[in-house]
Amino acid sequence: MSRILVFQHVAAEPLGTLDPLIRRRGHRVKFVNFERQPEAKPRLDRYQGLIVLGGPMNVEERDARAHLQTEIEVIREALVQGKPVLGICLGAQLLAHALGGEVRRNAVSEIGWYELATTDAGRSDPVLAPLGAIAPIFQWHGYTFDLPAGATHLARTGTCENQAFRHGGNAYGFQFHLEMDKPLIERWLELPAYRDELIAAGLGRDADSIRADTFARIEAMQQRAHAVFNNFLDLVGTPARRRRLAATA
């Protein structure tokens, strides 16, 4: 049975639209929710891939949140084993840190919808290429990362240079949130802590303007997101049982 290990930090930041794509492939998902199990010590041996989700904490909080160091160590183990890794938002920052890149506060927070521009490498990347040259992308972050040594820069926005990178052939960091749908965005806009973060960011937009942008842009992002995520899942492979069924069909 093919299994994917998923690190989750808070209930409000799940796999989103990536979840049904994984299950449709026939993979089992093992969640480690560090909000509920901060002392968990997951092992990677039985898993074919690793996904690290977002969260409101930051890499610099490792002393107060020991699980962040645990995650970094598992990410490094996955890299050594050559297993596919996808880091989303905080997950991308943890991946960058595991590879030696600095994680720091961005000049401005990015919350809401932004135009993401792919680099030449991003437009030809086997995972990220479906985004095209420019794509509307949902963001919610105040930190960024420096590109790790040896990594390939894949995408940027006007207010955050390092939005996506690839390390080797199968480790990806996405600062943005391709996994969002309308209900999940609405959930974030209604959460007091997230709403306070939006207000404090002073970006000149409010929840209603983000809702309006979501109505106009979510469908285009989801179409591209499905293609990107399926490309990543191609790296994980097809479970043996699914391959046998396909061969006998």
Residue 89 is a catalytic residue? yes
Phi then psi for residue 244, to 5 deg, are -65, -40
Q: Which of 13, 71, 110, 179 is catalytic?
A: 179
From the candidates 27, 97, 141, 177, give the one annotated as an active-site residue.
Answer: 177
Of these residues, 89, 97, 110, 141, which one is catalytic?
Answer: 89
CA torsion 180→181→185→190, rounded to 10°?
Answer: -130
Q: Which residues of 135-159 are buried (b: 16+ CB within 10 A; e: fewer)?
A: bbbbbbbbbbbebbeebbbbbbbee
Q: Which two tokens stand for residue 207?
A: 């929840």
Q: What angle do CA 181, 186, 188 make, to 5 degrees?
A: 100
Does the annotation count 160 as an active-site position? Answer: no
Residues noted as catalytic: 89, 177, 179
